[in-house]
């Protein structure tokens, strides 16, 4: 602000200075630039926050060289991988050092490529495999559907938990009979349709090797076999042995 100083003579200066505050006070309520300035400030804060998030997500790429010591930051180096024979040897060594139970189970995670050329992906599935070396004495309970007396006798000799025909349908629907697996011969399949919704994936089928004429083979597979299924769309998690 300018104020008249003694000795200065400007015609009309006193009136202009007196009128100036009135003009300023009249212009204050409008504040044409206040909102724009505030918005710019908010925008700048958001930009800073985004930049901060980007910095936090920054990935640390591991180094290609191997560590020279047995104590190191794991994210600095690539994760080591071993073949099966060496990995099992290391697992046995760790078991001795940790004094863990020597007959504990060994688990494996298998990652599958479920992509196809015609379809988008393979649907998750379940199956049973007969391993060359059994690692447990546990056996599954298997029910055999057959109306042939000779086949029924063979099934009982080979260790079937339950053997019968259509008379078993009622007991299964009422949960009076519960087993781990169901196998059947082709001749009786038209009579087992009422069990389709009840048994679902355990319903006898050639796709799962639970439908056929070779009763001893089917019984061995499902009594001693290992059942596995695909989880999370492409992963198989199951046990395969003991330490």
User: Could you report the per-residue pLDDT of 225-236, keeping only the tens digit for each?
Assistant: 999 999 988 999
**Is 117 a member of any domain?**
no
pLDDT at position 238 over 90: yes
Contact 222, 100 (CB under 8 A): no
Q: How many domains does the chain have?
A: 1
In a domain, 145, yes or no: yes
State whether the Cα torsion 140-146-149-150 is positive or negative: negative
pLDDT (0 to 100) of residue 47:
65
Percent of the chain with pLDDT over 70: 74
- The model's confidence at residue 71, banded by pLDDT at 50, 70 and 90, is confident
Please indicate, yes or no, if residue 110 is contained in any of the structural domains.
Answer: no
Is the pLDDT score of 88 beyond 50? Answer: yes
At a CB cut-off of 8 Å and minimum separation 6, what does 112 contact? 122, 230, 234, 235, 236
Residue 162 covered by a domain: yes
Q: The domain containing residue 178 runs over which residues?
A: 126-242
Asked whether residue 140 is domain-assigned, the answer is yes
pLDDT band at 160 (very low <50, low <70, confident <90, very high): very high
Residue 25 pLDDT greater than 60, yes or no: no
CATH no. for residue 228? 3.40.50.790
pLDDT averaged over every residue in the chain: 81
């Amino acid at each position: 602000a300018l104020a008249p100083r003694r000795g200065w003579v400007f015609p009309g200066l006193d009136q202009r200075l007196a009128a100036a505050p009135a003009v300023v006070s009249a212009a204050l309520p409008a504040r044409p630039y206040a909102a724009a300035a505030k918005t710019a400030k908010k925008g700048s804060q958001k930009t800073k926050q985004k930049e901060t998030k980007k910095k936090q997500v920054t990935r640390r790429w591991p180094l290609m060289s191997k560590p020279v010591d047995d104590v190191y930051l794991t994210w600095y180096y690539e994760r080591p991988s071993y073949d099966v024979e060496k990995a099992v040897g290391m697992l046995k060594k760790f078991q001795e050092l940790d004094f863990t139970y020597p007959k504990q189970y060994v688990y494996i995670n298998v990652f599958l490529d479920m992509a196809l050329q015609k379809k988008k992906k393979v649907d998750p599935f379940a199956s049973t495999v007969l391993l060359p070396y059994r690692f447990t004495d546990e056996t599954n309970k298997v029910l055999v559907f057959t109306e042939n007396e000779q086949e029924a006798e063979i099934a009982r000799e080979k260790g079937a938990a339950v053997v019968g025909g259509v008379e078993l349908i009622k007991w299964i629907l009422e949960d009076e009979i519960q087993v781990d697996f169901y196998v059947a011969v082709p001749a009786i399949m038209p009579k087992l349709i009422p069990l389709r919704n009840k048994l679902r994936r355990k319903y006898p089928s050639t796709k799962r090797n639970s439908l056929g004429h070779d009763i001893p083979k089917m019984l061995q597979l499902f009594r001693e076999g290992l059942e596995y299924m695909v989880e999370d769309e492409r992963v198989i998690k199951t046990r395969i042995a003991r330490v």
